Structure 1
Amino acid sequence: MKSGLQEFQIIDTAQIWLAFSPEYEKHLLLLVKDYSYEAARWNAYLNRLCLNAFISWVKEYLALPEILLLLPSKDECYQLWEFLNGTAIQVGETRIVLIPTEDSIVEEFCVQREWVDIPGWEANYYISIQVNPEKHWLRVLGCASHNTIKEKAEYDEITRSYCLSRNQLIVDLNFMWIKEVIYEEKKVANNKLAQLSLMEAKKLLKKSDRSLWCSPRLDFDFEKWAALLADENLRKLLYNQRLDVHDIAQDATNLTNWLQGIFDIPWQTLDELLGPRGNNLAFAWRGREERQKNIEDQAKNIPALIEILQADYNEETRLKVAKCLGAIAPGNLEAIAALIDLLNTSQSKWTRWQAAESLGEIGTGNQQAITALTAVLNKKQDDELCWQAALSLGKIDPSNPKAGVSRCRQIDLGMQLAGHPVALLVYLMPEANDKIAVLLKVHPAGKDTYLPQNLQLIVLDESGAVFDQAQARSADNWIQLSFTYQAGDNFHVKVTLGDVSHTEEFVS
């Protein structure tokens, strides 16, 4: 949209008063729709109004030759209004942040800390703009330099804002375009942000619930929030998550993000979607899980259970004991050691599989467990065992280059599956030479034991050609497909029944 003085009429050049029409207001309100809550939409409206008005004034009244740039970019600038009040622009060598306010009586100028303290986001100048939507005018009240805000403003811990009294603002903006002044007004250097770990980023993204109906900026420590906001990819994930973009636009799922511990909203852990039985559904062995009523009461049985593992009991008994230890012995060094021994010595594939799964439940951060699971992956003797070792490694040592990940989501096929939902499970396991192994499964997501007959799971390559497919028979608990892709490859996964289908696009 081109914004010019046909939309904004200059009322007074001394203080830069600009008027806009009710028709223009209605037009602008139609453009600010991609936000998760009403306050964010109104914030976006005020900021876009101020942005367009200021750009019009700079271009047509000052007639500056420099190109005006939105920072970080046009789309990202708009996305930031979901979280912050303010707009950053670059005019020649001058970086400016525009801050609108609706206050009818403006006594102070408040700038959210993000615009001042995030390295690389600091502006040369911050401009206060008063907006009166009812009377359709706005007024530039003045500006303050980064130095002034850092050295003279009071910091409000509750709102995380720097506040200056209005009489500390410079009313005449013309001095901003003088290069000599720009060089004299060097910005105060900010300390470099601490790098956000993948686990921390994952927790922050998960904690930011769009049902809060407000910006999440005050829900976290500033240092962590600033690190998340300053990262372009994490910021976009957060924005998409709050808008539930994947449910609306069915965007592609980035599997590279998964391997870095970053997941989009529709995708959940097996436990979150399928309940406590979720992990049991992952592979062929089925056992009715006995829920433990009180882990502390059961912990007294750990020594006896370890003795059973070390004695000459049959493999079915040892398997059940290994499963029990995975439920009641988190962090117990003796139990971890016994499971490692079982993983290394048992002759039963499924007992070893269960030992690997239980290590993933109780061995978080334990180096011996990490080493044992890594050794299984290095040997590559059995596919099912390798998959479980990779997934368990992903739980206890997420940053390990061999760590696997898994996520699932419920698939909606409308009336075709009314009352009988299914879940798509996706497992990833890193391999050598930038290859990633993929295991896809479809399971019943409700109380059903079997999948609907003739349900199909189909993998399509980038061209849309069928790469592989599987079909449920009359009494199938699940169907699955496995393959390997190279980093950079894209593919589609389709779940279909009759004439209805659901397709997920995956990119890497």
Structure 2
Amino acid sequence: MSQMTANLIVFPDFDPNQFYLELSEDTLEGSWQQIDRYSSLSRRWQAYLHQVALTSFLNWLQEEQSIKAKVWPNRSALPSFLEVVDGTAIEFDGVRLLLLVTDSLDVDEMRVPQEWVDIPSWVADYYLAVQINPDDGYLRVFGYTTHQQLKTKGTYDGSDRVYYLSENDLIADLDLLWITRQLCPNEILQEPIVSLPPLPLVHAENLLIRLGQSSVPVPRLEIPFVLWGSLLEHDGWRRQLYEKRIGLTEQWSVVQWLETEISQVAQGLGWNRTQWQPSLVAARGESLGSSIVLSRQLVIKEQPYELRIVPKGLPEQRIWRFELWSSCPSHYIPRGMKLRLLTEDLQSFDNNEDIALNNVDLLFVEVSLGSGEGLIWEIEPFPDNYEREILRF
């Protein structure tokens, strides 16, 4: 892979061993339009810097290097990360790469928030230290390292909860990353870490109330890391934390979706309302609790599917049916695929999943829920860009 460098006139201290990218005006201006709401101006600025770096680096990977790279876990999730911690991740070819962005002109070390090192599902393979200068229109990667090197050679600063490596301990030449990937594809990049203990629901609810106040400027330092990490690793709780901190009301009430409309947040993830036709209702031969059905389009192993939520029976019975269908008329749900429901704190319960023992037309799970109860749906194999969602009933 070849490096891309910007106009050297704007780099008086240009280092030919480091990676540079010019920042286009379209990227600099367009990134402001893509920034969501944040609880403070400082968080919004950090989100902007990461958006510029992410867009520029991702475009370079896709267009200049022909790498099929994507944002991890997906673009819609970025605000819930950047509201509380710096860093954006990219995945390609089974590798996760983390961009850590600063606009400081005087940098001599990489500082990695503990979340990206010690939350098991967040761990990256490579960590890139990125300096960005929007005024002069460039970014540079002044070094990179691996998770294993961070854990074995990095210094942990408990006051800020970061791991840091001096610039001298980083690999300056980004080309070496691609060369190493080709020559040593089985290189060990991650150091084993322990799983975080599950967080009881009542504890999570209390923490969300406390840390969801925008008056708490740095929530990541307010509680022990083991609690904080467990809270963030749960996609639904992390998203709730973000929504509370920016003052959004409940966005995930299925009852509200049926009675009025689907929230903009949920629409952005693909949820929509469908009006049942009388002929279809008759064909099902079932007593439906509403003529409105909620659905979400999914892609699983390059095949399209549809997840539906169907209210059944009388409203006071509060019976809900989750269905998974193939979106292709001639395509079945393959043997081994699973549709599963979990409680808000990821606990199983009786009859909470359906497994395709053979090729089948659909999978379904029915549940009876109390008012305000939360559920999480899962499908195995996981859909593309999957994140756990807490649906409130």
TM-score range, shorter chain: 0.5 to 0.7
Task: Tell me which residue corresponds to 1:221.
Answer: 224
Deviation at 1:186?
3.1
User: Against the structure 1 CA distance between its residues 235 and 75, is the aligned structure 2 distance closer, same or farther, given a 3 Å change threshold?
Assistant: same
CA deviation vs aligned residue, 1:172-227 (integer Å, no higher than 9, x gap): 22232324434223310110110100111111101114332634111111011101
2:55 maps to 1:59? no
SS in 1 for 2:190: coil
CA deviation vs aligned residue, 1:159-179 (integer Å, no higher than 9, x gap): 100010011111122232324
Correspondences of 1:177-196 after superposition (within 5 Å): 177=178, 178-196=181-199
Correspondences of 1:320-335 after superposition (within 5 Å): none
User: Against the structure 1 CA distance between its residues 163 and 252, is the aligned structure 2 distance closer, same or farther, given a 3 Å change threshold?
Assistant: closer
AA aligned opposite 1:486: I
CA deviation vs aligned residue, 1:332-382 (integer Å, no higher than 9, x gap): xxxxxxxxxxxxxxxxxxxxxxxxxxxxxxxxxxxxxxxxxxxxxxxxxxx
Task: Tell me which residue corresponds to 1:412.
Answer: none
5+ residue gaps, structure 1, are 1-7, 256-460, 465-481, 494-505
2:84 maps to 1:251? no
User: Against the structure 1 CA distance between its residues 110 and 252, is the aligned structure 2 distance closer, same or farther, given a 3 Å change threshold?
Assistant: closer
- The answer to whether the 8 Å contact 2:115/2:229 transfers is yes
Task: Tell me which residue corresponds to 1:174.
Answer: 175
Correspondences of 1:235-246 after superposition (within 5 Å): 235-246=238-249
- TM-score normalised per structure 2: 0.61
Alignment partners' CA distance in 2, 1:148 and 1:252? 40
- The answer to whether the 8 Å contact 2:116/2:124 transfers is yes
Task: Tell me which residue corresponds to 1:15.
Answer: 18
Task: Tell me which residue corresponds to 2:115.
Answer: 114
AA aligned opposite 2:156: Y
- TM-score normalised per structure 1: 0.48
CA deviation vs aligned residue, 1:93-126 (integer Å, no higher than 9, x gap): 3211110011111111100001011112211110
Alignment partners' CA distance in 2, 1:163 and 1:146? 12
- The answer to whether the 8 Å contact 1:82/1:215 transfers is no
AA aligned opposite 1:98: L
Alignment partners' CA distance in 1, 2:254 and 2:129? 40
Task: Tell me which residue corresponds to 2:46.
Answer: 43
Deviation at 1:40?
1.4
SS in 2 for 1:142: strand
Alignment partners' CA distance in 2, 1:81 and 1:194? 24
Correspondences of 1:442-457 after superposition (within 5 Å): none
Match for 1:31 among 30, 34, 47?
34
CA deviation vs aligned residue, 1:58-117 (integer Å, no higher than 9, x gap): 2333x24x4212112221134211111101111213211110011111111100001011
SS in 1 for 2:43: helix
2:170 maps to 1:152? no
Task: Tell me which residue corresponds to 1:486.
Answer: 319
Deviation at 1:17?
1.8
AA aligned opposite 1:33: D
AA aligned opposite 1:155: Y
Alignment partners' CA distance in 1, 2:40 and 2:216? 5
Deviation at 1:45?
0.4
User: Against the structure 1 CA distance between its residues 128 and 31, is the aligned structure 2 distance closer, same or farther, given a 3 Å change threshold?
Assistant: same
Alignment partners' CA distance in 2, 1:160 and 1:174? 30
Task: Tell me which residue corresponds to 2:98.
Answer: 97
User: Against the structure 1 CA distance between its residues 147 and 118, is the aligned structure 2 distance closer, same or farther, given a 3 Å change threshold?
Assistant: same
- The answer to whether the 8 Å contact 2:80/2:241 transfers is no
AA aligned opposite 2:6: I
2:84 maps to 1:83? yes
Correspondences of 1:448-467 after superposition (within 5 Å): 462-463=290-291
Correspondences of 1:258-269 after superposition (within 5 Å): none
Alignment partners' CA distance in 1, 2:251 and 2:234? 20
- The answer to whether the 8 Å contact 1:9/1:18 transfers is yes
Alignment partners' CA distance in 1, 2:35 and 2:139? 19
SS in 1 for 2:184: helix
| Aligned-pair Cα RMSD in Å | 3.1
Structure with bigger helix share is 1
User: Against the structure 1 CA distance between its residues 485 and 463, is the aligned structure 2 distance closer, same or farther, given a 3 Å change threshold?
Assistant: same
- The answer to whether the 8 Å contact 1:113/1:161 transfers is yes
- Structure index of larger Rg: 1
AA aligned opposite 2:133: N
Alignment partners' CA distance in 1, 2:290 and 2:392? 10
Alignment partners' CA distance in 1, 2:117 and 2:199? 20
Alignment partners' CA distance in 1, 2:99 and 2:318? 46
Alignment partners' CA distance in 2, 1:24 and 1:219? 35
User: Against the structure 1 CA distance between its residues 483 and 91, is the aligned structure 2 distance closer, same or farther, given a 3 Å change threshold?
Assistant: closer
CA deviation vs aligned residue, 1:414-441 (integer Å, no higher than 9, x gap): xxxxxxxxxxxxxxxxxxxxxxxxxxxx
Alignment partners' CA distance in 2, 1:241 and 1:17? 38
5+ residue gaps, structure 2, are 9-15, 256-288, 293-314, 322-366, 372-390
Alignment partners' CA distance in 1, 2:94 and 2:77? 21
Correspondences of 1:225-374 after superposition (within 5 Å): 225-246=228-249, 251-253=251-253
Deviation at 1:43?
1.1
Alignment partners' CA distance in 2, 1:171 and 1:30? 33
User: Against the structure 1 CA distance between its residues 200 and 101, is the aligned structure 2 distance closer, same or farther, given a 3 Å change threshold?
Assistant: same
Which one scores higher on RCO, CA 8 angstroms, separation ≥ 6?
A: 2
Deviation at 1:22?
4.8
Alignment partners' CA distance in 1, 2:248 and 2:5? 38
Alignment partners' CA distance in 1, 2:225 and 2:35? 27
Alignment partners' CA distance in 1, 2:82 and 2:212? 17
Alignment partners' CA distance in 1, 2:201 and 2:252? 21
Deviation at 1:254?
5.5
SS in 2 for 1:211: coil
- The answer to whether the 8 Å contact 2:79/2:242 transfers is no
User: Against the structure 1 CA distance between its residues 210 and 179, is the aligned structure 2 distance closer, same or farther, given a 3 Å change threshold?
Assistant: farther
- The answer to whether the 8 Å contact 2:18/2:174 transfers is no
Identity between Structure 1 and Structure 2 (%): 30
SS in 2 for 1:104: coil
Alignment partners' CA distance in 2, 1:87 and 1:121? 10
Alignment partners' CA distance in 2, 1:180 and 1:23? 37
